[in-house]
């Protein structure tokens, strides 16, 4: 059965929470991206924008799909060779980034720069998710999803403050 919008939203939030990601951590990424361009930015504004991004249906779909694949991989339930490819987070796989781009796309081209930057530097929660050495957890999709939500939220902030979008394009 297709879930009504608000139910999908609730489940997407719950899935993020179950995988150890808080909206505050994502808001922190947004803050650090935008603070150089918008000195009066607050964590509250960043959190509001993260919440707005997660209210989008496309974003909820990407969250559910990516986390599902991470969890099935953790449980060893995929077929070979996909099981090993996702488990090892193979660099040439790339579908995790493609799925994340469906989130970045929602707020236009500024998001791509921010997403690329986060993917390369892996600050905060993204670095934590990307570090597989200490545990059996798989976050091949989730690290990109979190980066994409932050990038989209940062773009949303920029769109609301046109003077900084000029700088960022």
Judged by the rule CB under 5 A, the positions of this chain that interact with Mg ion are 96, 140, 143-144
Nearest distance from C-beta of residue 127 to Mg ion, angstroms: 12
CA distance 150 to 126: 10
In the bound state with Mg ion, the residue whose beta carbon lies nearer, of 25 and 144, is 144
Nearest distance from C-beta of residue 132 to Mg ion, angstroms: 10
Q: How many C-alpha atoms does 124 have within 13 Å on its Cβ side?
A: 20
Residue with the closest Cβ to Mg ion?
96
Nearest distance from C-beta of residue 94 to Mg ion, angstroms: 9
Nearest distance from C-beta of residue 24 to Mg ion, angstroms: 22
Helices (H), 3-141: 5-18, 23-34, 43-54, 57-74, 82-87, 95-104, 110-121, 124-130
In the bound state with Mg ion, the residue whose beta carbon lies nearer, of 60 and 140, is 140
Nearest distance from C-beta of residue 100 to Mg ion, angstroms: 8
In the bound state with Mg ion, the residue whose beta carbon lies nearer, of 110 and 146, is 146
In the bound state with Mg ion, the residue whose beta carbon lies nearer, of 6 and 120, is 120
- Residue 94 gets the label, from left (phi > 0), alpha (psi -120 to 50) or beta, of left
In the bound state with Mg ion, the residue whose beta carbon lies nearer, of 24 and 131, is 131
108 CB-contact burial (10 Å; exposed 0-12 / middle 13-18 / buried 19+): middle
Radius of gyration of the chain (CA): 16
CA distance 72 to 26: 24
């Amino acid at each position: 059965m297709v879930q009504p919008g608000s139910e999908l939203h609730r489940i997407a939030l719950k899935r993020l929470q179950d995988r150890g990601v808080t909206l505050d951590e994502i808001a922190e990424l947004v803050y650090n991206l935008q603070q150089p361009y918008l000195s009066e930015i607050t964590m509250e504004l960043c959190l509001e924008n993260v919440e707005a991004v997660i209210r989008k249906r496309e974003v909820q779909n990407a969250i559910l799909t990516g986390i599902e694949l991470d969890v099935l991989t953790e449980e060893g339930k995929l077929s070979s060779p996909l099981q090993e490819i996702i488990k090892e987070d193979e660099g040439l796989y790339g579908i995790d980034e493609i799925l994340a781009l469906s989130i970045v796309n929602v707020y236009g081209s500024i998001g791509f720069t921010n997403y690329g930057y986060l993917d390369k530097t892996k600050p905060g929660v993204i670095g934590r998710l990307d570090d597989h050495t200490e545990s059996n957890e798989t976050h091949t999709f989730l690290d990109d999803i979190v980066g994409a939500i932050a990038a989209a939220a940062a773009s949303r902030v920029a769109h609301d403050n046109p003077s900084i979008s000029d700088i960022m394009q």
